[in-house]
Structure formats: C-alpha cells, structure tokens
Structure 1
Amino acid sequence: MGNVLNTNTHELLGFLSVKLFVFIVVFGVLPGYIIYKIPLKNSSKKVPFLAILALVFIFIASALANAKNWLWFDKHAKFIGGLILPFAYSVNAFRVSALKFFTPTIKPLPLFSPNHSHSFVVLVIGESARKHNYALYGYQKPTTPRLSKRLENHELTLFNATSCATYTTASLECILDSSFKNNAYENLPTYLTKAGIKVFWYSANDGEKNVKVTSYRKNYELIQKCPNCEAIAPYDESLLYNLPDLLKEHSNENVLLILHLAGSHGPNYDNKVPLNFRVFKPYCSSADLSSCSKESLINAYDNTIFYNDYLLDKIISMLEKAKQPALMIYLSDHGESLGEGAYYLHGIPKSIAPKEQYEIPFIVYANDLFKEEHSIIQTQTPINQNTIFHSVLGVFEDLKNPSVVYRPSLDLLKHKKE
C-alpha cells in the first residue's frame, strides 16, 4: 500500500489502458447500477439468521479442515495478516497513513572526520533493471555494447548482487542506510552532508524520503537553462547535463553525486527510451503487458537496457577526463518480471518473489587517479545493496580515525590509509 499511495500521477497514467477502462465499466459500474435499480424487498427475519448460521458453520468446518496448518499461521501471523484480502488494503492503508503522524525520530550517527582526497563519487541508482538482460552478465542479445567493450578492456568490475526488496522505497532505504534492519538512523546522504561533504541528488524518479543534501534537483529543473535540451528532457540523459560543471567546480572537494534514474520502469518501457535507442523491434508500446507478444515485450525492455548502457558509458567518459579521483557505482533498486510464471513488473514480497525481481546488475568503474589510492575487490561471492553505505563512506572518511559506523567487511574497496 505504501507503493500505491506513493505513486505519482505520471506513473499512474502509465497503467491506464482501454482494457482497464472496459473492465471497470463491465465489472464495476454496470453491476453497481443494476444493484442500485433493484427495488428492496422486506425479507423474512429467518433469512439473516440462517445466513449467519451458515457462515459460522462454513468457518468452523474450514478451520477444522485446516487444523494442521494452525501452527504455521500462528508463527507467520504478523506477515500473513497483511496479505489477507480484502483487509490487506484497509489495514495497510491505515498503517502507511499512521506513519505520517507517528514518524519515528531519525537518530544522528556519530560524527566522523573526512579525509582530503578530493574524490568524486557518482552513485547511479537504476530502476527495475534485472541482471538477466545485461549482455555484461551473459545475455545473448547485445544490450550493453559500450560497457561490454570496457569490460573487455578491464575497465569495469562486475558483482553478482541481489536487492534487499522488490520495490523502490525499501530498496533505497537499504542502499542508503548503515543497517537496513535498523533504519531509524540518518542515511548516507544526510550523514555525509553533516560532515561537510558536498552531496548532490539529481532525480528522474521518486521514492526518496528523509534526505538532506547540499542540492536536490529533479531532471526538469536541471535543464531549464539548457538551450538545446528538448530532445533529452523527458529522459534520464537530462540528469547528466550538469555533471561536467560539477567536476570542474568541485575539483578540490569531496563530492557524492546521486543519480536516481527512471531506468526500466514499466509498464510503458518504450516511453523511457528516445526513438534512436529503440533498436530491438518490434517492441511493445502498450500498458497492458499481457496483451503484448513475448518477443515485443522483451524487446521493449531490452531497449531500456541499451539506453542505460549509453548513459553509463557517457558518465564513465566524463570521469575518465576528470582531474580528481573519480568512482562510479551503478546498481538497480530491484529487478523486473516480464511474464515469467505469469508475473509482470515487480513488488512481490521477496520471500516468494521470482529471481527476476531481485537479481540486479552491480557495476563499478574507477579512473586512474582513483586507483592510485583505492582498489576494487574481486569476488564471485554474491553481495547485497547494504555494501553501498560502507563503500562510499570508506572513500571519504579518514581511515586513521574511522567512524564507529564503518564496517570494512561491507566495503567493496581497499583503501590506502592517509
């Protein structure tokens, strides 16, 4: 319900279709009208009594038939209770609304001493990108031609990663918090900003909350002063417009830039990609994904990965030329289902979700100046999103006097101490 209530108008419009309209009219409006027109008749007093008696009998019979499952339901009652329909909608809507009035106090983390490395870190948070469709990870279609070439040249490090959740808000908390199970503490952007590090957040997405940074900008705000940006305005490339200026203006400071992409957010995958990047055809352009052929649906999704390949390569090209140590970390918030097992999109509880919804790409690039002071670990061991907080913190803090929050075991980098 949190996802439902946090959905913006733009995302909502993406789910509207003729099929949905017909369904609402046929199974909602017409039955409602028919019931409204049927005249009420006084019934015997026995009818309500017999109906209640029948329901009680059915309830008892059902409970006895499922007696062997009582212990399991009792053990998982807290989790299952939020899924029982129709109560799930009303109960969970109340829970989400209550958070607005009973928001827990965000506790400050202990202060740390930043170093003077003048490092520039770009954290790119993708949307609904699943690892399976990246040629970098063995996918047969050429969805990542630019990054694949860089991988051949040993410029990139890939990790086998899973997301903490299958929806954006929970995954963002995991990415940005020091401990996903205890997110009552301030998150990474807030923590770094408080320590004097410049933190910029550029977003073409939603789901961010309790973030205090040096500057927060939506993509349409970034390109207001760009004279020839009409072509990129609706797309993720608009987030990169100001990156060259940031690199020049803050070459003597520690900087974290967070780019929150629209990425591969469905159901209108084709709307996330400029026409010249829609290379896989035919592609689905309908919000009703089940009505699309398997080939066209996958092509539409693969086009978003192809466009993302271009964006990441463009970021890397800028960082290559930077005059300061620079690092790019890209990971997706979660994966996506494309009809496997009749599942689409994402959001299924991770405990029962298919792997397509939580196996994500995780890509790291470092320029030569950065490699002089840090090295990226090489491991085939699966990692989680909770490595981000500690990996980024390790770049900026004075490791001779590390923060008590810092956990080296979750740092993907090895650092030369000052």
Structure 2
Amino acid sequence: MRLTLGVMKVNLLLVLLFALVFNWPIFLHFYRILTALEHVKAGFVLSIPLVLVAALNAVFLPFTFRYLLKPFFILLIMTGSLASYAMLKYGIIFDVGMVQNIFETNSGEAGSYLNGSVVLWFLLTAVLPVCALLWIKVEYPAPWYKGLGLRLGSIALSLLFLVGTAALYYQDYASVGRNNKSLGKEIVPANYVHGLYKYARDVVFATPIPYQQIGTDARVVGQHEKPTLMFLVVGETARSQNYSLNGYQKQTNGFTEQEANVVSFRNVRSCGTATALSVPCMFSNLTRRGYDEARAHSQDGLLDVLQHAGISVLWKENDGGCKGVCKNVPTIEIKPKAFPAYCSGDACHDEVLLQGLDQQIAGMQSREGSKLVAFHLMGSHGPTYYRRYPAADRVFLPDCPRSDIENCSNEELVNTYDNTIRYTDKVLARLIDKLKSLESQYNVGLVYLSDHGESLGAMGLYLHGTPYKFAPDDQTRVPLLTWFSPQLQADRQLNLDCLQQEAASKRFSHDNLFHSMLGIMDVQTQVYDGKLDLFKPCRAG
C-alpha cells in the first residue's frame, strides 16, 4: 500500500534531506569556524540550520508542481548525493571549474573514484530516498490556485524568516562570510547548479570566437652547428614541496639528482588547480590574470608558434587528452591495449612514452631542422596513486593501494604519493638518457613543468581543483626542472650557475613557459616577451 502525503509535506522532507544530510559538510565547516572564535551568540548558532531550511524551502517550492516534482528531485537527489560525498570526503568545492573538470573527465579517470564508500553512500542517500519518493503518492491541492496560494504563502514565510534573521544577526553572518568566502560555494545544490549554469553559458553555448593565428612571423635566429632537439614534459598533479631537489626529506629525486646540469626551480606557481585550465593556460601567451578560456582555445598556442618557425613538433599523450593545445600538431595517444607490459586496464605507466621514440624522432620532418617532443604524463594522478608506478618502484612503505584515500593513514597516503613523484623522476632520467644518446645529431635539452599540485589531507582537502583564491600552496606550487646538455648551453650562451641562482631565489609561474620555450629554441617573433623568458637573464648578448 502506497503512502499518500500532501505536496507541502513532501517538499519539507526533501528540504530536510538536503539541509541535514547533503549539507552536512557545511555544518562541519561552520563547527570548525565557530569553535575557533572566542565569543559566539547562541541565537546565531541556532539560526544557521534554520536559515538553510528556510532558504531551501523557498527555492524548492516552485519545482513541486505535478509532473515536475518527481523527475526534477530524483535528478537533484542523485547529483546532490555525489556532490556531498565529494565535499565530505575530499573537501572539494564546486564551482564552474570543478563542473568543467567533471564534464571533461574520461571514463577511466571517473572509474578511479569508484569504491565501496561512495557506493554505500549513494545507496543510502540517493537510491533509498529516490525509491521512497517514487513510492509516495503525492497529493496536490485542488483547485490549482489553492496549491499556488499555499506555495506562495510558504515562500513568503521563509523569506520573512530570512529577513528577520538578517536583521538580528547580519553582522555575525557578514563577519563569518567575509573571513570564510568559500562557504558560499558549499551549499548543496546551489553550488553545483550555479557552476553548471556558468559552464553552459560560458562554454557550451558561448558564441564561438573566430580563430586567430599568432606568431606567424616566427623564425629561428642565430647560427647553430646542429639543430635542437627539445623534450617538453608536462607533469600531472606534482607538487614542489615533495621534491628532494627542493629540500624534501625523502629521496624522491634520486634519479635526476645524479644527472649533472639539472636545475630545479623552487618557487613556481601554476595557472590553475586543474588540468582543464592549467594546460591551455600554460601553453598560451595569456598570463594567469589575463587568461580567458574561450580566447585561449580560439588562437594559436606555443606549439603552433614553434611550427610557424619551422620547428617540427610531436605530442605524446598518456593522460587522457591535451585539452586542445595539441589540436594542430601531430599527436600520438597511447593505447593501453598496445602496450600490455606497461599498461593495466585503461591506464599506463609513463615509461610507455619512451616506446618507439627513436623512430618517431627520426620521422619528424621540419623546415628548420629543430624538433620538439612534448610528453603529457599520467604523473601523480589521483586518487588511485598506487596505479601510477610499477610494483618494482613501490619504495616508500607502507603505501595506500586503494582509491578511497581518505581511509588511509597520512603516512600511507604520503608514501603512495611520494612513490609517484619518485617514478616520474625515473621517467625524466630515462628521457635525459635518451637525449644524451642523440647528442651527436642535436643540441639537446629537457624542460619539465607540472600542471598543478595536490592536497593530501591538509586542512581537510584532498585531490585538487579548489578555486584558485581558496587553494592552498599544495595545489598551486609546482615543480619546474630543466636539463640542458653542455653543447646546448654553449650554443645558447647559457650560464648554468646564473640559472641555479635564479631558480633558488626568484618566483616564476606558468606565465613564463610560452616565452621561455621560444627563447631557448631561439625563436624570434613579435609575440615573444623577453621579460617573461626565465632563461634570458642568464644568456649572454
């Protein structure tokens, strides 16, 4: 026998589900905030859940009409359940950037987040409420205007309560909100619905900008005995503070530390906190503050300008996509089934990128003779960090061989992440060895730069993607390594001691990549800005 409930009661149950279950993370955040204050008004504390209930009631009621209520709230419950889990377990903040990350995530990456905890949470907070909603027979007032009047009256009472609360505790809410601006992005479902709206407006339905070529005047200058072969390695989710080259206590750079001429830049900031933003930004000539996604995707980037200069470019992909930066250049995407020795399921260890490399380099044809190979690493992509390195490179123990990383101890989690950093370092050393083997044909060099960092539980945050203005250094401070052969140093008149000093003492960012790569490749063009070329101060002339 089905239970019959009036529409106003059903709405109240839905409001309580969202307020007390899906918004539990924001109550925990309020608890941390309020317990840190010396003086807190009891009335203000008691008003917080009531304000949330009143606000949700006012927002939900317009969607409680016949034929709309069940399909609308079924979708909202399922998405709200997943959003609340991500916030509760990983400290994720939903904004337009996070929504974009979700839409641009491939099936393999999405599958890495699947574990017993999220399945149980979804069953309890989404499947059961949806089944209950389908089972309940909703009774709607007749005639229709009576139901409309009830809804308008309830909305009016909710708004009146919100106004009264604001009159009593405005200063308290303003003070807490001013000092904790992320709170406004933590209310489910307003946070991800607003992010979805902005993503649809600014990305999906945005008016396309006519494509613009830049740097078409680019040309290689200077006299060179040999052409240049440069490896540009784009890291994934590596943070600078876990690099022993930068002072970290664990030996995470044991391979590159043995290489002469390696320079590690200690203070480098990313353009964003997620791949979807950082990679297009770092390959564009737009600075972080001036970055516009639509503009970046509708004009040439670094790789295009290099091609304009007659340099042959190749992109090798092992991280699910280049986010548009390689759309105009030859691309090799690693297919896991083709490399069973390096791959398992839909993910491959980064050493796979060296497979066939000699033949691929030999096959690159360029007008000028110089070549650049870009490698997009899987790197330290979470939460399944343990899948990013082979068993033989499981050095720091105990580690965390599971995807629900919040259930691992901090020691296990950090060890697992450090293993990924060490393995990336091994891959970089192997790439340097490959370059050394080609020194008779080319002036060779390597530049490595990660797209963003990662949170490992500090301040309750895991993974990445936190809005930049709220993001900790864990997510925005990234490693930058360079290695240039003695021949290339001499050819470019590059003083390595000077570069070591610059790397240790100055602050750099993704803004420098575009112009630094043009500079070290000796490319002259109007879009080059010497002020952002981090190599220029250490080059003669």
- Post-superposition offset of 1:411: 0.9
Distance 2:381 2:533 in 1: 29
Distance 1:254 1:407 in 2: 21
Q: What SS does structure 2 have at the residue aligned with 1:353?
A: coil
Q: Which position in structure 1 is the counterpart of 2:87? A: none
Query: Partner letter of residue 204 of structure 1?
Result: N
Query: Partner letter of residue 191 of structure 1?
Result: V
> Does residue 1:235 correspond to 2:235, yes or no?
no
Distance 2:390 2:126 in 1: 37
> Does residue 1:60 correspond to 2:163, yes or no?
yes
Distance 2:275 2:483 in 1: 24
Q: Residue 212 and residue 5 in structure 1: after superposition, are their counterparts in 2 closer, same or farther (change >3 A)?
A: closer
Q: Residue 71 and residue 143 in structure 1: after superposition, are their counterparts in 2 closer, same or farther (change >3 A)?
A: closer
Q: Residue 281 and residue 186 in structure 1: after superposition, are their counterparts in 2 closer, same or farther (change >3 A)?
A: same
Q: Which runs of 5+ in 1 are unaligned?
A: none
Q: What SS does structure 2 have at the residue aligned with 1:66?
A: helix
Q: Which position in structure 2 is the counterpart of 1:189? A: 303
> Does residue 1:34 correspond to 2:132, yes or no?
yes
More relative contact order in 1 or in 2 (CA 8 Å, sep 6+)?
1
- Post-superposition offset of 1:321: 2.6
- Post-superposition offset of 1:230: 2.8
Distance 1:13 1:26 in 2: 20
Q: Residue 83 and residue 194 in structure 1: after superposition, are their counterparts in 2 closer, same or farther (change >3 A)?
A: farther
> Does residue 1:372 correspond to 2:490, yes or no?
yes
> Does residue 1:309 correspond to 2:407, yes or no?
no
- Post-superposition offset of 1:110: 3.7
Q: Which position in structure 1 is the counterpart of 2:286? A: 179
Q: Which position in structure 2 is the counterpart of 1:142? A: 251
Q: What SS does structure 2 have at the residue aligned with 1:386?
A: helix
Q: Which position in structure 2 is the counterpart of 1:108? A: 213
Whether contact under 8 Å (2:283, 2:514) holds in the other structure is yes
Q: Residue 157 and residue 23 in structure 1: after superposition, are their counterparts in 2 closer, same or farther (change >3 A)?
A: closer
Select which of 526, 534, 540 maps to 1:404. Answer: 526
Whether contact under 8 Å (1:128, 1:334) holds in the other structure is yes
Q: Residue 370 and residue 210 in structure 1: after superposition, are their counterparts in 2 closer, same or farther (change >3 A)?
A: closer
- Post-superposition offset of 1:330: 0.6
Distance 2:140 2:194 in 1: 34
Q: Per-residue CA shift, 1:185-211, capped at 9, x if unaligned?
A: 321112222333211111111351153
- Post-superposition offset of 1:268: 0.3
- Post-superposition offset of 1:214: 3.5
Distance 1:284 1:393 in 2: 41
Q: Residue 3 and residue 216 in structure 1: after superposition, are their counterparts in 2 closer, same or farther (change >3 A)?
A: same
> Does residue 1:217 correspond to 2:335, yes or no?
no
Q: What SS does structure 2 have at the residue aligned with 1:328?
A: strand
Q: How does 1:378-397 map to 2 (within 5 A)?
A: 378-379=501-502, 380-397=505-522
Q: How does 1:17-416 map to 2 (within 5 A)?
A: 17-41=115-139, 48=151, 50-64=153-167, 65-66=169-170, 85-98=188-201, 99-101=203-205, 102-115=207-220, 117=224, 118-150=227-259, 153-180=260-287, 181-183=290-292, 184=295, 185-205=299-319, 206-209=321-324, 211-220=326-335, 224=338, 229-233=339-343, 234-249=348-363, 253-322=369-438, 323-374=441-492, 375=494, 377=499, 378-379=501-502, 380-398=505-523, 402-414=524-536, 415=539
Distance 1:83 1:209 in 2: 30
Distance 1:302 1:159 in 2: 17
- Post-superposition offset of 1:392: 1.0
Query: Partner letter of residue 216 of structure 2?
Result: L
Q: Give the helix-richer structure, 1 or 2.
A: 2
Whether contact under 8 Å (2:282, 2:510) holds in the other structure is yes
Query: Which piece of structure 1 moves more, 234-243 or 408-417?
Result: 408-417
Distance 2:303 2:404 in 1: 37
Q: What SS does structure 2 have at the residue aligned with 1:372?
A: helix
Distance 2:315 2:140 in 1: 64
Whether contact under 8 Å (2:215, 2:308) holds in the other structure is no
- Post-superposition offset of 1:254: 1.4
So what's the TM-score if we normalise by structure 2?
0.69
Q: Per-residue CA shift, 1:157-190, capped at 9, x if unaligned?
A: 4342111111112111221011132452321112
Whether contact under 8 Å (1:129, 1:264) holds in the other structure is yes
- Post-superposition offset of 1:247: 4.5
Q: Computing the radius of gyration over CA atoms, which structure comes out larger, 1 or 2?
A: 2
So what's the TM-score if we normalise by structure 1?
0.88
Identity of paired residues, percent? 28
Whether contact under 8 Å (1:203, 1:260) holds in the other structure is yes
- Post-superposition offset of 1:146: 1.2
- Post-superposition offset of 1:286: 1.6
Distance 1:59 1:69 in 2: 12
- Post-superposition offset of 1:48: 4.0
Query: Partner letter of residue 290 of structure 1?
Result: E
Distance 2:101 2:108 in 1: 14
Distance 1:210 1:330 in 2: 16
Q: Per-residue CA shift, 1:364-398, capped at 9, x if unaligned?
A: 00012211122153311110011110011113345
- Post-superposition offset of 1:39: 3.6
Whether contact under 8 Å (2:281, 2:291) holds in the other structure is no
Q: Residue 241 and residue 17 in structure 1: after superposition, are their counterparts in 2 closer, same or farther (change >3 A)?
A: same
Q: What SS does structure 2 have at the residue aligned with 1:4?
A: helix
Q: Residue 373 and residue 29 in structure 1: after superposition, are their counterparts in 2 closer, same or farther (change >3 A)?
A: same
Q: What SS does structure 2 have at the residue aligned with 1:334?
A: coil
Number of paired residues?
405
Q: Per-residue CA shift, 1:82-116, capped at 9, x if unaligned?
A: 77642332333243344244232332214224226
- Post-superposition offset of 1:282: 1.7
Distance 1:325 1:304 in 2: 30
Q: Residue 364 and residue 42 in structure 1: after superposition, are their counterparts in 2 closer, same or farther (change >3 A)?
A: closer
| C-alpha RMSD of the superposition | 2.9
Q: Per-residue CA shift, 1:309-366, capped at 9, x if unaligned?
A: 1100001111123221112111110000111111100010111111111111110000
